[in-house]
Amino acid sequence: MEILITEKAQEMLLKNIGGEKFLRVVVTKGGCAGLTYGAEIDQIIKETEQVVFQSGDIRIVSDEESRQYLEGLKIDYSDDLIAGGLKLTNSNSGRTCGCGASFSLAGFPVPENGNCGTLK
């Protein structure tokens, strides 16, 4: 699986992940484009999850349903005061929401009434 973690994201993750900790990445239905990424640092892998990517001490864990949307994922980090944090984008996305909060891939239905209504 190809996942790109930028240098800035690697620095942040290495400061916060150590030992048994990992980054959980999930994809859920939502937003105007159909799908949204979610991420959290945790240390307990659920029964339905597995490590899908590892680079040095950084492990990414995901569930089976989300894994199909992680190929081509780019994880970046911004320390901006407004809208800072991890930024997850995918080079394989067909459309993205104008606010950048959601995306869609070919073959996935897009909800009729999304939140911001500005699809790209």
Domains of the chain: 3-104 (2.60.300.12)
pLDDT at residue number 35? 76
- Whether this model's pTM surpasses 0.85: no
DSSP letters, 49-64, are EEEEEEETTEEEEEEH
What is d(CA 31, CA 46) in angstroms, rounded to the nearest whole number? 26
What is d(CA 28, CA 5) in angstroms, rounded to the nearest whole number? 21
pLDDT 10s digits, 24-73 = 999 887 766 677 888 999 999 999 999 999 999 999 999 999 998 898 89
pLDDT at residue number 120? 43
pLDDT 10s digits, 10-28 = 999 999 997 899 999 998 8
Q: Please identify which residue in the block is written with the tokens 């400061």.
A: 15
* Number of C-beta neighbours around residue 71 at 10 A: 14
